[in-house]
Structure 1
């Protein structure tokens, strides 16, 4: 049985120093890791669409002022330009933060919603970019590409409203140490395309060859359990069913396990009002 550790409340100075340590450690890792990082963008789309998905830009979230979501749209546009059309060749690794870079006001980023380690949220420069990393992670689960680095959200902040994907099927991002990295183990080139419409963030994976199977992502063992220190923990496991072109099940794969501290009471709050 999984037991979520009690959250540690750190001092402000400890948090600042810890963040700087992890940021500079990541810079060092980028230099000495030996990975071949994807860096080439192409405006010409590869021939075969592998998977596409879109998520709404604006959602009604409890206690979140809408100006933060409008600012998020600006942030997403800037970040999307940095990765739209990126080619991931065989043996290359896609790094979310290595391509996007540090969000700053100078680059045009605005204050959006940033989730804090304690499960609260506040305005912060570049806030809202998790929507982009969530989209990329979800799409990648439907491809042969391998997710080699991904971080789950430590807190479940908002109750489900019109959720279409399993809980825990996203990837949180914090510059630059909470990265999303995707490796291409295939013999084909893959291309990530992302753009914004008036209402949605839209993404797709394309490739030089068609995919000869399809994937279905689902969850098992979903539960909301009380923790020994108070509050509730939300749990589940993410799996992937693989079907051939004749729609026959050929594999059922474990993907990941999620545990998140619930910020709301699951038995009281049932809407976003």
Structure 2
């Protein structure tokens, strides 16, 4: 990483840290714990991990991330921050495929957006509050190669873009992830049953972009996303 790129990154990290302190979010972030409440209810989701040239690196990255996430419980009003939980990708992850400035490249931590995406998707199903989420800028898939609904993704850039989710329930919840062969699964587990939302993904195709609106069973809009068409 170049000197100026490193300087810019740590400038962003410092700005975020200061902003989190001022807003009070820093004190609401989840912390590591060995406590294991009696989680008896779950909302489950599963996705295929597509095989490509960086498949083995992606599996490694997924394994490291899931082990870190497993150490965090989200208590009432606490915020799950992906980067606060997982840490600096440059210190622990391998290179994988990612999208940057509308182009597919290989970068350290590439592929982690599938982990953040499946966490985001199950959070929508559970009706948790999405504090921060960013969709990818480009839709690189078609309906045959897509592993999740368009509009359920959550891209990550360390220092710039995070996934943050607040537990608005009066009881603790937890993300439990597993990677088996070419499948990744997540369970949003809880001590009290959460009513699972039914989500509708409506895609509006325009000449250069796709607009996705996600609504729940009550017809309320839970998110919107905009993507450039396939590369």
Structure 1 and Structure 2 fold alike (TM over 0.5): yes
Aligned partner of 2:223 in structure 1 is: 256
Aligned partner of 2:80 in structure 1 is: 94
C-alpha distance in 1, partners of 2:141/2:159? 25
C-alpha distance in 1, partners of 2:35/2:181? 21
Computing the radius of gyration over CA atoms, which structure comes out larger, 1 or 2? 1
C-alpha distance in 2, partners of 1:15/1:235? 32
C-alpha distance in 2, partners of 1:48/1:252? 29
Q: CA deviation at 1:202?
A: 1.4
Q: CA deviation at 1:139?
A: 0.3
Matched, 1:130 2:113: yes
How big is the alpha-carbon RMSD for the aligned residues of Structure 1 and Structure 2?
2.3
C-alpha distance in 2, partners of 1:43/1:69? 33
Question: What is the aligned counterpart of 1:156 among 116, 134, 139?
Answer: 139
Which structure 1 residue ranges, 5 or more long, are not aligned? 1-11, 60-65, 227-231, 242-250, 265-273
Question: What is the aligned counterpart of 1:234 among 191, 195, 210?
Answer: 210
Q: CA deviation at 1:203?
A: 0.8
Aligned partner of 1:24 in structure 2 is: 14
C-alpha distance in 1, partners of 2:174/2:67? 14
Alignment size in residue pairs: 228
Distance change >3 Å, CA 161–CA 14, structure 1 → 2: farther
Decide which structure has greater helix share.
2
Contact 2:80 2:165 in 1 (8 A): yes
Distance change >3 Å, CA 262–CA 46, structure 1 → 2: farther
Q: Which one has more relative contact order, counting CA pairs under 8 Å at least 6 apart?
A: 2
Secondary structure, aligned partner of 2:53: helix
C-alpha distance in 2, partners of 1:162/1:49? 32
Decide which structure has greater strand share.
1
C-alpha distance in 1, partners of 2:86/2:226? 28
Q: CA deviation at 1:240?
A: 1.1
Contact 2:204 2:212 in 1 (8 A): yes
1:60-75 aligned within 5 A: 66-75=52-61
C-alpha distance in 1, partners of 2:167/2:8? 32
Contact 2:151 2:201 in 1 (8 A): no
- TM score, norm. by length of structure 2: 0.88
Matched, 1:224 2:210: no
Secondary structure, aligned partner of 1:215: coil
- TM score, norm. by length of structure 1: 0.76
Contact 1:85 1:194 in 2 (8 A): no
C-alpha distance in 2, partners of 1:145/1:192? 12
C-alpha distance in 2, partners of 1:122/1:218? 31
Q: CA deviation at 1:237?
A: 0.6
Deviations 1:91-115 (A, max 9, x none): 11111100100112x42x2111121
C-alpha distance in 2, partners of 1:122/1:43? 39
